[in-house]
Amino acid sequence: MEETRQHRSLRAVPNDRTLHDWKNHWIHDETAIYCAQCLASQSVLDAQAPFVHHRGCGYAHPLFAHYPWQDLARILRADMLKELSRP
């Protein structure tokens, strides 16, 4: 639990609340996510690690880390629950 809270306090992407927002910042294929600005990539195997942008990327944040795989999972889970709870 403590670890989850720590990760959350490091987040920089509270704007990525919907799939639409997420897709504005990230590009994905089956096994990797790419920053739409600097095209740095992260494998799904590193989903628990903070995303590392290329030097000078405008979307990188000096104090906070991005966890794009976790954000995507959270968004999809929320969408699925919404869908399932529809009468």
- Identity of the residue, 59 or 74, whose beta carbon is nearer to Zn ion in the bound complex: 59
- 7-66 residues in contact with Zn ion (CB under 5 A) are 35, 37-38, 53, 57, 59
Q: How many CB atoms lie within 10 A of CB 13?
A: 20
- 68-87 residues in contact with Zn ion (CB under 5 A) are none
By rule CB under 5 A, what count of residues binds Zn ion? 6
Nearest to 65 by CA among 75, 73, 53, 82: 53
Output the smallest distance, CB 17 to Zn ion, in A. 19
| Half-sphere exposure at residue 69, Cβ-oriented, CA atoms within 13 angstroms | 17
8 Å CB contact between 12 and 64:
yes
Chain contacts with Zn ion (rule: CB under 5 A): 35, 37-38, 53, 57, 59
